[in-house]
Chain A
Amino acid sequence: MSGKSILKRIDWLSIFIYLALITIGWVSIYSSTFDEAAPSIFDFDTLHGKQLFFIGASLVAIVVILALEANFYERFASLFYVISLILLLGLFVFGKTIAGATSWYNLGFFNLQPSEIAKAATALALAKYLSDIQTDIRQGRDQLYALLIILVPALLIIPQPDPGSALVFFALVMVIFREGLPLYYLGIAFIAILVFITTLIFGTIWVSITLVLLLTLFLILKKKKSRIRILPMFAFTVIAILFSFSVNFVFNNVFEQRHRDRFSLWLRLENDPAKLESIRKSIGYNTYQSEKAIESGGFFGKGFLEGTRTKGDFVPEQHSDYIFTSVGEEWGFIGTTTVVLLFTFLLLRLVHLAERQKTDFARMFGYGVISILLIHYVINIGMVIGLLPTIGIPLPFFSYGGSSMLGFTALLFIFLKLDSNRLKEGI
Chain B
Amino acid sequence: MKKFLLSSIIVIVGITFIGRLSYLQIFSFSPDQVLEDPAIKAIYDYPERGYIYDRNGELLVGNQPAYDVMVIPREVKPLDTLEFCKLLGIEKEKFIKTLNRARVYSPRLPSVLVHQLSKEDYARLQEKMRHYEGFYIQKRSLRYYDTNSAANVLGYISEVNERDIAKNPYYVQGELTGRTGVEKVYEDILRGRKGVQYIQKDRFNRDIGPYKDGALDTLPEQGIEINITIDKALQEYGERLMHGKWGGIVAIEPSSGEILAMISGPTYDPSLLVGRQRSANYSKLHYDSISKPTFDRSISFEKSPGSPFKAINALIALQEGAITPSTKFTCYHGFFIGRSKKGCHCGGGVRNLNSGIYKSCNAYFVGAYKKIFEQFPSNSQAMDVWEKHVRSFGLGSYLGSDLYTGRPGSVPSTELYNKWYGEGDNRWSATTTYSNAIGQGEVNVTPLQLANMTAAIANRGFFYTPHILKKIDGKEISIPDFVEPKQTTIDKHHFEPVIQGMADVYDKGTAKWIQIPDIEIAGKTGTVENFMKIDSVKTQLTDNSVFVAFAPVDKPKIALAVYIQNGYYGARYAGHIASLLIEKYLKGEITRKDLEKRMLEKTLEHEYAKPYSGEEFKINEYVW
Residues of A whose CB lies within 8 Å of any CB of B are: 174, 177-178, 183, 289, 291-292, 294-299, 308-309, 311-314, 328, 332-333, 336-337, 340-341, 343-344, 347-348, 351, 355, 367, 370, 374, 377-378, 381-382, 385-387
Contacts and interface: CB of A to CB of B under 8 A. Distances in A.
A309 B2 contact: no
A309 B38 contact: yes
Nearest to B201: A312
Given A299-B25, A385-B17, 18 more contacts: A178-B6, A294-B21, A294-B24, A296-B29, A298-B25, A299-B29, A309-B37, A311-B39, A313-B202, A333-B21, A333-B25, A337-B21, A340-B21, A341-B14, A344-B13, A351-B6, A351-B7, A378-B13
Contacts of B13: 344, 374, 377-378
B29 A295 contact: yes
Nearest to B206: A312
B26 interface: yes
Contacts of B14: 340-341, 343-344
B165 interface: no
29 contacts: A177-B2, A177-B5, A292-B36, A294-B24, A294-B25, A298-B29, A299-B29, A308-B39, A308-B40, A308-B211, A311-B208, A328-B24, A328-B25, A333-B21, A333-B22, A340-B18, A341-B18, A344-B11, A344-B13, A347-B10, A351-B3, A351-B6, A351-B10, A367-B6, A370-B6, A381-B17, A382-B17, A385-B17, A385-B24
A336 B21 contact: yes
Nearest to A313: B203
> Chain B at the A interface: mostly helix, strand, loop or mixed?
helix
B283 interface: no
Contacts of A294: 21, 24-25
Contacts of A289: 38
Contacts of A314: 38-39, 203
Interface in B545-596: none
B426 interface: no
B130 to A, nearest CB: 32
A309 B39 contact: yes
Nearest to A186: B5
Contacts of A370: 6
Contact of B26 (A333, A355, A382): A333
B9 interface: yes
Which 9 A-B pairs give the minimum distances between C-beta atoms?
A312-B39, A344-B14, A308-B39, A333-B25, A298-B29, A347-B10, A313-B203, A295-B24, A312-B202
A1 B382 CA distance: 115
Interface residues of B, number: 34
A296 B33 CA distance: 7
A374 B39 contact: no
A33 to B, nearest CB: 13
A312 B21 contact: no
A346 to B, nearest CB: 9
Contacts of A378: 13
Interface in B202-223: 202-203, 208, 211
B340 interface: no
Nearest to A333: B25
B25 A332 contact: yes
Nearest to B31: A298
Nearest to A309: B39
B17 A340 contact: yes
Interface string B23-35: 0111011010100
A344 B202 CA distance: 35
Contacts of A296: 29, 33, 37
Contacts of A385: 17, 20-21, 24
B536 interface: no
Nearest to B36: A292
Contacts of B10: 344, 347-348, 351, 374
B200 interface: yes
A391 to B, nearest CB: 15
B42 to A, nearest CB: 13
A292 B2 CA distance: 38
A177 B5 CA distance: 10
A313 B6 CA distance: 37
B2 A337 contact: no
Given A308-B37, A387-B20, A355 B3 contact: yes
Most chain B CB inside 10 Å of its own CB: which residue of A295, A370, A378: A295
Nearest to A316: B203
B168 interface: no
A213 to B, nearest CB: 27
B126 interface: no
A367 B18 CA distance: 24
